[in-house]
Structure formats: structure tokens, C-alpha cells
């Protein structure tokens, strides 16, 4: 990627105006605040209607990784990247399964965080803290990778006029300001705008590419000439990996704390139902379209290395601009969509992390504060988390970044606590805790060893380490349940 | 429909979304390798099934509310 700015100074000003307007939305969120309580700040008073709930679910689930990373993956893997559609659909499948029951319990027992449910169900402190810690680590990794993506996009948009670090600092400041103004309400309202831009941006680029290049026929014919391996049917190991990816989506993506908190935030079960029903179709519109963008980049400019392929989306945009197929307006739209996707994910993760630190750790370790005090503490924690994340995003060495890819492998280990807990009243917290501990340790050891370059595969027999970890986790729970029974 | 049946149905369909039975890139249909088209169609079928299942099973939760 060369240093030519993707936008002119006029375009950059429009983009900046859009980003700054989000602070105005945050202020409106503050005005709509009904009370100084954790439920009002972190869950918008549990009163989210269909329109906002759907768009915030959508904007949160589809991060910058969807717009940038998925196209890059399609560039490198070809049609195999289609698994990403089912990967995200599977998460919606999990919502369908546990959503209604968890929603009803959250209303009844006033849950704020996922660990609130785990504590309510098992009443086993070690398990509560461990699940909260896993959520925090997964969200930290999520925030850091997205902040880094923001820095790269700012550099690409401005041609390096705004350096990487300044880009991260400026956008993080905007996010933390509107988040601490109105909490979930501000985040969800900005998500509604960002989700709309994201959807319009993705659909527009898909249609434009179809008109300009000729769609799937164009891709197939070019790939047959330049890289026929990318159209081959998956090998048996790749099929296992495909299935394993679906498992990660079902048991991992569905348990992102900010996703669970959106379930808690729904006004009515009907609102949640409609939102999740429509979410079931969003992978077909969003992920399929971005895979298509990545495949088009491959057909147009084959031979890029891994790092360059991450810029597949921007590459296609540049090509379209050079052909005169898109003007400044559409370029602004798509870049806004990309930045919106990243911001909506970071702000939701930040809010979720702040709630976990405040509710799962601070409140349990230092009880006695009232709701207004806790809300203020939560806001302070948001600023501290964001400052620390920005610092890490700027200074972390490349070797550590590889470890930050470990997210879902950890999060998936919480799934037995939720799924078994909701549908089996007999399983004990101790069994779930040891299962989580063993599964997490196994996954971490395998993943870290792999990332550090040891000869340990990240996917033994095509199955992700996290999925093996989940299997071991479940077997450990079964074992502990068996050995505890005779004592009763 | 009970929730355990939903789980079984969901996983059966998910297992079928993997293009297990395709071994070679035999043909091209509407510009896509046949196995890729299969993956897209089964993903769409899964989405439709989810829509229907949520409609049917969550109704009880709505009336309970």
C-alpha cells in the first residue's frame, strides 16, 4: 500500500465531522438518562426497543475485522472463507437456544454482566471470578486488535498525515467521551447510526463491484487462471476445520459479554425475538459480500503476501476509484462504514469491560457503595481501561500481538457454565470451575506454544485448540459430577 | 417444539452446512464452484430455519411474559 491518501482534505473533514457528531449522540444519551444506576448506565435501563437493539447487535457483532479481516482471509483462502457465513450464523443459533431463558432470568434477578448469571446459578465465587477474568482477557484482546486497525485506517485515509498513534488517541478519546456521557444508551444510539452506515456501505460496494467487474463469473474465470487452488473443494482436514470454526461461532461468538448484555437490555422478549430473527440473515448480507470483495481483490491483484492481503478491501476501493466507478461520496461512505464497524465494537467492548470490573470485581470485593457511586466508579474505570488499551495498542511489540489473536479459544470455555447451567439444575459450580480451568489451560498452552513458534499445531487434526479445550472441559465436568455423586 | 429438539435440529443443519461430500471442483454453477454454492445455500437454509424456530419456540416465552 503506498502513501497516497484515500480521501482529499474535503473528504477527511466530512469524515471528522461524522466522528465528532457521535459525541453529540452521546450527549443526547446522557439527557435521556432516567436514574443514576448500573442498570441504566450499562443496560440502558433494560428498555431497548427493536430498531436500536437490532442495529446495536448488528454493529457490535460485525467489527472492523469483518470489513477488513474477512476480505483479507478470502484473499488468502479463496472460497474456503465462505465458512465465515456459517460461523456468524451459528452464533445466532446459540442466541436462539439460550436467549429466551437467560433474558427472563436477567429481568427477574437484575443481571448486569454474564458472570452475574453464573454467580446466581452456581454460587461458587472461584467460578464467578474466573469467568469474569476470561471475559476481560477476551475483551482486552478484542479492543487492542480493533484499536490497532483504527490506527492503520487513519494512516490509509490521510496518507500518513495523521500518524498511527495520533489516530488511535483521537478516536479513542471520542469513544470514551460519548460512552461515559450516556453509557449503553449512547453506545447503542451511536451503534444504530454506525450499523446503518455499515449495512449501506457493504451493500453498495457489493453492487458496485458486480456492475463494474461482473460478479462471480469474473472471479471464477480469473482465479482459474491465476490461482486454481483457491477454487478447489476443501480437503478432509479443511472440512474438519470448517466444522470446528462453526463450533467456535456457536459456543464462542455468542458468548461475547457485550452480546449477552444486549440480550439483558431488551425491552421485551418480542423485541429480542425480532432482532435475533433478522440477525439470522445478516451473515448472508454482510459476510458473503465481504468474502466477495476479498475474492475480487484476489482476481484483480494476485500474489500479495499475508500483510498486504489485509488491505484487500482498500485495494478494491482504490481500483474502483481509479476506474472512476466510485466518487468521493462513496469512498467516504465505505471508509465511514469501516471506522463505524470498528468504533461500534470497541465502544461496546469498553462498556462491557467497565461493567465487569465494576460489578464482578469492585462490588464483590468492596461492597457498600450506592448505585450512583458505582456508576461514577464505572465511568472512571472506562477511562482507565481506554487509556491503558491505547498505550498498549501503540507500544506493544509485534511478538505480543500474535498472542492477542487468542480470544474465542478462551471465551468458548465459559459456554458449559451458560448452556449447562440454563438447562440442567443439578450440575455443580465446582465441576464447572474445574472444567473451565482445565479447558482454558489446555487451550492456552497449545495456542501460546504455537504462537511462539514451537512445533505444536494450533489446530490438531484440523480442530481448533479451543474446541479441543471445550471437549476436555466438558469431559472434566462429567468426571467431577461422577466423583461427587457418591458423597451425596 | 422443545429446546432440546431445537438444539438437535440446529446442530444437524449446521453439520450439513459443511461441504463434506464434495471432493473435487467438478462443476461451476452461476459462476461459483458447486461446493461453494452448496455452502451458501445451506447457510441460507440455516438462517431460514433459525427464523422459523425462533418464531415457534419463543412464542411460549412471549405469552408467559
What pLDDT is attached to residue A280? 96
Cα B49 from Cα B53, distance rounded (Å): 6
Is the pLDDT at A392 greater than 70, yes or no? yes
**Residues above pLDDT 90, as percent of chain A:** 60
Residues 6 or more apart in contact with residue A13 via CB below 8 angstroms:
none
Element (H, E) at B33: strand B32-33
Is the four-CA dihedral B29, B35, B40, B43 of positive or negative sign?
positive
Half-sphere exposure at residue A244, Cβ-oriented, CA atoms within 13 angstroms: 22
Tens digits of residue pLDDT in A157-173: 888 899 999 999 999 99
* Strand, coil or helix: A192: helix
The mean pLDDT of A165-192, rounded to a whole number, is: 92
* Mean pLDDT score across all residues of chain A: 90
- B-chain CB neighbours of A93 within 8 Å are 10, 14, 46, 50
Cα A113 from Cα A104, distance rounded (Å): 14
* Strand, coil or helix: B44: helix
* Structural Rg of chain A based on CA atoms: 22
ipTM: 0.93
CA distance to partner chain B, nearest, from residue A118 (Å)? 20
Residue A265 or residue A194, greater confidence: A265
Contact (Cβ atoms closer than 8 angstroms) between residue A275 and residue A53: yes
Is the pLDDT at A130 greater than 80, yes or no? yes
3-state percent helix, strand, coil for chain B, nearest multiple of 5: 70, 5, 25
The mean pLDDT of A309-331, rounded to a whole number, is: 84
Contact (Cβ atoms closer than 8 angstroms) between residue A298 and residue A223: yes
Contact (Cβ atoms closer than 8 angstroms) between residue A319 and residue A4: no
What pLDDT is attached to residue A51? 92
Contact (Cβ atoms closer than 8 angstroms) between residue A414 and residue A134: yes
Contact B51 A233 (CB under 8 A): no
Residues 6 or more apart in contact with residue A236 via CB below 8 angstroms:
A462
Contact B62 A281 (CB under 8 A): no
B-facing residues of A in 245-304 (CB < 8 A) are: 246, 250, 268-270, 273, 276-277, 280-281, 283-284, 288
Which of B14, B22, B33 has its CB closest to that of A93?
Answer: B14
Report DSSP state, residue A403: H
Contact (Cβ atoms closer than 8 angstroms) between residue A91 and residue A85: no
Tens digits of residue pLDDT in A429-461: 999 999 999 999 999 999 889 888 888 888 899
CA distance to partner chain B, nearest, from residue A395 (Å)? 41
CATH code linked to domain A16-397: 1.20.1730.10
The mean pLDDT of A261-275, rounded to a whole number, is: 94
* Strand, coil or helix: A266: strand
Cα A225 from Cα A290, distance rounded (Å): 22
Is the pLDDT at A344 greater than 70, yes or no? yes
The mean pLDDT of A234-246, rounded to a whole number, is: 95
What pLDDT is attached to residue A401? 62
Task: Tally the residues of chain A.
Answer: 488
Most confidently modeled range among A329-343, A469-483, B13-27: A469-483
Is the pLDDT at B1 greater than 70, yes or no? no
Is the pLDDT at A383 greater than 90, yes or no? yes
The answer to whether A93 contacts chain B (CB < 8 Å) is yes
Is the pLDDT at A488 greater than 60, yes or no? no
Is the pLDDT at A411 greater than 60, yes or no? yes
Long-range contacts of the stretch A360-367 (C-beta < 8 A, 24+): A360/A113, A360/A115, A360/A116, A360/A119, A360/A128, A360/A129, A360/A132, A361/A129, A361/A132, A364/A125, A364/A128
What residues form DSSP beta bridges with B33? B28
A118-127, A301-310, A398-407: segment of lowest average pLDDT: A398-407
Amino acid at each position: 500500500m503506498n502513501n497516497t491518501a484515500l480521501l482529499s482534505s474535503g473528504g477527511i473533514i466530512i469524515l471528522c465531522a461524522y466522528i465528532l457528531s457521535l459525541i453529540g449522540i452521546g450527549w443526547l444519551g446522557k439527557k435521556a438518562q432516567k436514574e443514576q444506576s448500573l442498570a441504566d448506565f450499562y443496560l440502558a435501563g433494560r428498555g431497548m426497543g427493536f430498531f436500536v437493539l437490532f442495529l446495536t447487535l448488528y454493529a457490535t457483532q460485525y467489527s472492523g475485522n469483518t470489513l477488513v479481516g474477512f476480505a483479507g482471509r478470502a484473499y488468502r483462502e479463496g472460497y474456503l472463507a465462505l465458512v465465515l457465513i456459517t460461523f456468524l450464523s451459528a452464533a445466532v443459533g446459540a442466541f436462539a437456544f439460550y436467549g429466551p431463558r437467560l433474558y427472563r432470568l436477567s429481568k427477574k434477578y437484575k443481571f448486569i454482566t454474564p458472570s452475574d448469571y453464573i454467580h446466581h446459578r452456581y454460587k461458587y465465587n472461584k467460578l464467578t471470578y474466573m469467568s469474569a477474568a476470561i471475559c476481560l482477557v477476551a475483551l482486552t484482546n478484542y479492543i487492542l486488535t480493533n484499536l490497532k486497525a483504527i490506527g492503520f485506517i487513519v494512516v490509509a485515509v490521510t496518507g500518513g498525515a495523521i500518524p498511527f498513534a495520533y489516530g488511535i488517541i483521537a478516536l479513542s478519546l471520542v469513544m470514551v467521551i460519548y460512552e461515559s456521557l450516556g453509557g449503553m444508551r449512547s453506545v447503542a444510539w451511536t451503534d444504530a447510526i454506525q450499523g446503518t452506515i455499515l449495512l449501506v456501505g457493504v451493500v453498495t460496494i457489493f453492487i458496485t463491484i458486480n456492475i463494474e467487474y461482473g460478479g462471480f463469473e469474473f472471479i471464477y474465470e480469473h482465479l482459474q487462471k491465476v490461482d486454481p487452488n483457491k477454487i478447489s473443494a476443501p480437503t478432509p482436514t479443511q472440512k474438519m476445520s470448517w466444522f470446528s470454526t462453526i463450533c467456535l461461532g456457536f459456543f464462542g461468538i455468542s458468548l461475547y459479554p457485550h452480546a449477552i448484555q444486549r440480550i439483558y437490555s431488551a425491552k421485551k422478549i418480542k423485541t429480542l425475538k425480532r432482532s435475533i430473527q433478522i440477525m439470522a440473515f445478516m451473515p448472508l448480507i454482510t459476510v458473503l459480500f465481504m468474502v466477495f470483495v476479498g475474492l475480487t481483490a484476489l482476481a484483480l491483484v494476485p500474489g500479495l503476501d499475508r500483510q498486504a492481503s489485509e488491505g484487500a478491501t482498500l485495494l478494491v476501493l482504490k481500483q474502483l476509484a481509479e476506474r472512476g466507478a466510485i466518487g468521493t461520496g462513496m469512498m467516504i461512505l465505505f471508509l465511514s462504514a469501516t471506522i463505524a464497524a470498528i468504533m461500534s465494537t470497541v465502544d461496546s467492548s469498553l462498556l462491557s469491560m467497565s461493567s465487569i470490573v465494576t460489578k464482578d470485581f469492585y462490588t464483590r470485593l468492596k461492597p457498600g457503595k450506592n448505585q450512583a457511586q458505582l456508576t461514577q466508579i464505572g465511568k472512571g474505570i472506562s477511562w482507565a481501561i481506554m487509556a491503558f488499551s491505547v498505550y498498549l495498542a501503540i507500544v506493544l511489540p509485534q511478538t505480543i500481538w500474535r498472542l492477542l489473536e487468542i480470544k474465542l479459544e478462551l471465551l468458548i470455555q465459559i459456554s458449559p457454565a451458560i448452556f449447562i447451567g440454563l438447562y440442567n439444575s443439578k450440575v455443580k459450580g465446582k465441576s464447572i470451575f474445574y472444567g473451565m480451568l482445565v479447558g482454558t489451560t489446555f487451550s492456552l498452552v497449545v495456542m501460546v506454544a504455537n504462537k511462539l513458534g514451537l512445533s505444536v499445531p494450533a489446530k490438531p487434526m484440523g480442530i481448533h485448540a479451543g474446541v479441543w479445550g471445550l471437549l476436555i472441559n466438558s469431559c472434566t465436568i462429567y468426571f467431577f459430577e461422577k466423583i461427587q455423586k457418591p458423597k451425596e | 417444539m422443545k429446546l432440546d429438539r431445537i438444539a438437535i435440529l440446529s446442530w444437524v443443519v449446521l453439520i450439513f452446512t459443511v461441504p463434506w461430500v464434495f471432493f473435487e471442483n467438478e462443476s461451476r454453477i452461476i459462476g461459483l464452484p458447486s461446493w461453494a454454492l452448496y455452502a451458501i445455500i445451506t447457510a441460507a437454509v440455516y438462517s431460514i430455519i433459525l427464523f422459523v424456530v425462533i418464531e415457534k419456540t419463543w412464542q411460549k416465552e412471549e405469552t408467559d411474559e
